[in-house]
Amino acid sequence: MNRMRASGLVPLWLLILAVALASCAPRITSASFDTPEGIAIERVAEIAYHRMEIGRLETGSYTTNVLIDLDLPRGVRWMVVDFTVTSYGLHFTSDTLPDVAWLVSPEGVHRIATAN
């Protein structure tokens, strides 16, 4: 009988552990990127993603040359964080949104929390 009670508590303990760990994760509120600035940065990140993919289709490998004339909003920067001929990682940040960044890779565009 005690084994049945103990085994029934396992899912409860797993749920408690998951909630406790989730509370430690960095938060990104939707208000951070649902602003005109956030929408503009995400749009630029999407354009960069598509340019990188078109460049790979045209040349057979990734190249940042396709981003030379990328029109960035004021205060926005991008940085190469990973680069090979078969993969890449670009990090877009903004002075106006210091808690969020956009990571562009062959998998697409993803918002991430920054470590500020």
The upper half-sphere exposure of residue 58, i.e. CA atoms within 13 Å in the direction of its Cβ, equals 9
Q: What is the reported pLDDT for 85?
A: 82
Q: What is the reported pLDDT for 9?
A: 64
- Residue 113: partners with Cβ closer than 8 Å, 6 or more residues away: 26, 27, 28, 99, 100, 101
Q: What is the reported pLDDT for 27?
A: 47
Residue 18's SS3 state is helix
For the chain, the average pLDDT equals 81
